[in-house]
Amino acid sequence: MSTTITVTSAAELNQALSQVTGGETILLAAGNYGKLSLNGKQFSSNVTIKSADPNASASFSEVHLNGASNVTFDTIKFDYTYSSGDYHFQNKFSVTNSSNITFQNSNFDGDFASGTGTSADGTGYGTGLMISGSNNIDVINTEFSKWWKGAIALNSDGVSFTGNDVHSIRSDGLVFDNVDNILVENNYIHDFGGAAGAGDHRDMIQIQRANGSGSDNITIRNNVFDMGQGDYTQTIWFGGDGKDLSDPNVLHHNVLIEGNVIYNGHLHGISVYGVDGITITKNSVLHVDEKTQTGGIEIPLIFVSNGSKNVTITQNITSQVLGHNGQPDWNVGNNVLIKPTEYDQHFTYQATAQTDGYNQYVVIPGSPADLANAGSDLANSITGPYIDWLKNNGYTVISAPSQPNTGTSQPNIGVNPPDTGTSQPDTGTSQPDTGETQTGTETSPPATEQPQTEAEATPPATEQPQTEAEATPPATELPQTEAETEVEEPVNIAEPEGELMIDISNQDSRGNIGKVLGYSDAEEIAFSVEMTRDEEDTGAERLIWNHSNFGLKLTKKGHLVAKVDNNDGGFRDGYKIKNLDLNDGETHQVTMMVDQNTDRLQVLVDGAVVLDETETDFDFAGGRERDWYVGDSVETFGIGDDADFLDTSSNPYSDLFA
């Protein structure tokens, strides 16, 4: 017979956890229980930790499970409060090397950064939930709001998110990397808000392979994705993460993307690289107006890299389907392609963000989409707000959704905080960005002042070493802009992860590539190159050069030198990094990031930090635009205005940057 234990303090909770063996329910009186660490707690059957009163939730400021099994959290508030100095990837709630863990009917309540003097003020900070090395993890009927990233799952098996409300996120909603058996179903993911000027990329769902392995058995089904009153995002994104997609080990297998409704203002509605076995069917991938985006880049489409195998794309409503070039193992048909200018002929507008705060387009009976039975059934079956849809499917919404960037936190539900007692030792560690600093792994819309070219509206050619045909959908399918015709030798501009990526691989020679507009006033700069040099290339070389502002060069002896304008020694003085062996014929990624507000310079080579300088008074913002020079050894060049430094302290997830 199951046992119920009621506790009123953290001390009583710790005492109860030391005695239970399996099958018990621990009811928590309302209040803040501080920090909880469950190390090695492997119960024989499920132990439930639950608020005694669902209308007065118990809360935790930090929870870490390490080597635990058979634990359910029910009606709990996981409450993060921003503190000055916190990293944007701060992680207070984690599941590591654990199994059979459930979070249900709960609230992962993040916080907006404030008072930091950074461009991230007023936007989400921290990661809601970090899952690593674990199996059978379920997140059900739970709210995630006001985070940098909602939830991240790494190196795990059996992770499901069902019936959740994910909103007011600065960067990514749900991230999976090397996770098999993923289920994302019946979620409402909406209203993301980036940090102004920080160059954030945003993906509502991202499937990565940064750990060097693909994921198998992925189902993304019957979700509502809505830009709402927030910022544009990429919606469902399977990037290349810089991997060689001819390597079968990095391919994703057995993917189903079905029945989703997408309302967004970015090209990448459903974009997938490197997959063997995928079905994309009955999705509605629709455009909503995004004032800071222009041209084809804001019209969502469906794209699968044409090197993918065993592909089925049928009965979707979208603007374009790209990647199909007659491959014999592809089945593409019965998709209804509708331009936004034609929407009035095909949809009635049950709700729009401008008037209702959310978007809801209903297919007109007798229209081509209706006759083809195309698009998501959700679009026509849901009446009223999507929050009500969750409720009608048996999910209880914890609180009304807040809009992004409001600058206010949700109030603490708990009252009369209990005695904190003695908490178990903390096992959690702060987690790093899961790939944001990796050039060429993501796409983000460029700043509005950037001139757009045809390739901007094209899934990026620099994601991975693919053939040109595979990496870039046909240029003629996307609109040309006036800016293209003004460039004698136009470079290809794509948009990976928070950066403007300039692909110079198609140019006959390197040299002066001209100005990259919009960065002269930036107080943070990050640029990254992929470069290859052989042993016989013994001469000095400027890899990247922006006169009197930034420089990255190799000396005759092969040393790497970083140069940034500053108030101490000036631009002439640089920082020499020896013994890197960059003349080995291999391709290396070199990244330099600098922030003149915090006076920090960091250089990475192949994901490893080789320089972390904090003793110089850097001063480079506010100068005039200068031309950029690219060396002959450089294959790709990306630049952004977000210096997303790596934490150089010991971190179990540092391999994400390799």
Q: Which two tokens stand for residue 573?
A: 């003085």
The residue ranking higher by pLDDT, 98 or 608, is 98
Q: For the chain, give the percent of residues with pLDDT over 90.
A: 45
Residue 166 has pLDDT above 90, yes or no: yes
More confident: 254 or 641: 254
Average pLDDT over residues 518-525: 76
Average pLDDT in the 242-250 region? 87
More confident residue, 503 or 436: 503
What backbone phi and psi angles, to 5 degrees, belong to 498?
70, 10
Predicted confidence band of residue 296 (pLDDT cuts 50, 70, 90) = low
Please report the pLDDT score of residue 476 as a whole number: 28
Q: Is the pLDDT of residue 421 over 70?
A: no
Residue 609 near residue 646, CB atoms below 8 Å? yes
What pLDDT sits at residue 64? 97
Mean of all residue pLDDT scores within the chain: 77
Per-residue pLDDT at 482 exceeds 60: no
| Mean pLDDT value of segment 234-263 | 93
503 pLDDT tier (thresholds 50, 70, 90):
very low
623 three-state secondary structure: coil
Strand pairing class (550-554; 560-564): antiparallel
The more confidently predicted of residues 27 and 579 is: 27
pLDDT, average across residues 31-58 = 96
- Give the integer Cα–Cα distance in Å for 565 and 549: 5
Note the pTM of the prediction, 2 decimals: 0.65
The predicted structure's pLDDT at residue 586 = 75
What is the rounded average pLDDT of the residues 356-372?
A: 91
What pLDDT score does 295 carry? 55
Better-scored residue on pLDDT, 381 or 308: 308
Most confident of 104-113, 284-293, 476-485: 104-113
Q: DSSP of 384-429, one letter per residue?
A: S-HHHHHHHTTPPPSSPPPPTT---PPPP---SPPP---PPPP---
Percent of the chain with pLDDT over 70: 75
Following CA atoms 548, 551, 556, 558 in sequence, which dihedral angle do they give, to the nearest 10 degrees? 160
Distance CA 514, CA 151 (A): 40
**Does 335 or 626 have the greater pLDDT score?**
335
pLDDT at residue 413, as a whole number: 25
What amino acid is encoded at 450 in this protein?
Q
pLDDT band at 306, cuts 50/70/90?
Answer: confident
Separation CA 303–CA 320 (nearest Å): 8
pLDDT at 227: 94
- pLDDT at residue 251 is higher than 80: yes
Listed ranges 363-377, 457-471, 623-637; the one with the highest mean pLDDT: 363-377
Place 479 in a pLDDT band, splitting at 50, 70 and 90.
Answer: very low
Residue pLDDT, tens place only, 92-131: 999 999 999 999 999 999 998 764 434 445 678 889 999 9
Q: Which residues contact residue 543 at a Cβ distance below 8 angstroms, ignoring those fewer than 6 apart? A: 529, 531, 552, 553, 554, 590, 630, 631, 633, 634
Does 238 score more than 80 pLDDT?
Answer: yes
Reported for 454-458, long-range contacts at CB under 8 A and 24+ positions apart, including other chains, are 454/478, 454/479, 454/480, 454/481, 454/484, 455/492, 455/493, 455/494, 455/503, 456/295, 456/297, 456/493, 456/494, 456/495, 457/267, 457/295, 457/296, 457/297, 458/267, 458/494
- Which tens digits make up the pLDDT trace of 431-457? 333 333 332 333 333 232 222 222 223
* Mean pLDDT (whole number) for 469-485: 28
- Report pLDDT for 311: 98
Listed residue (269, 313, 270) closest to 287, CA to CA: 269
The first and second tokens of residue 630, run together, are 């690219």
Q: What is the pLDDT of residue 195?
A: 56
Mean pLDDT confidence for 80-95 = 87
Q: How confident is the model at residue 69 (pLDDT cuts 50, 70, 90)?
A: very high
Residue-wise pLDDT tens digits, 554-581: 887 778 999 998 888 778 778 888 877 7
pLDDT category at 292 given cuts 50, 70, 90 is low
Structure tokens at 631: 């060396």
Measured over the CA atoms of residue 527, residue 529, residue 535 and residue 539, the dihedral's sign is negative
DSSP letters, 20-85, are: --SS-EEEE-SEE--EEEEES-EEEEEEEEEESSTTS-EEESEEEEES-EEEEEESEEEE----TT
Task: Find, among 261, 469, 431, 245, the residue nearest to 358 by Cα.
Answer: 261
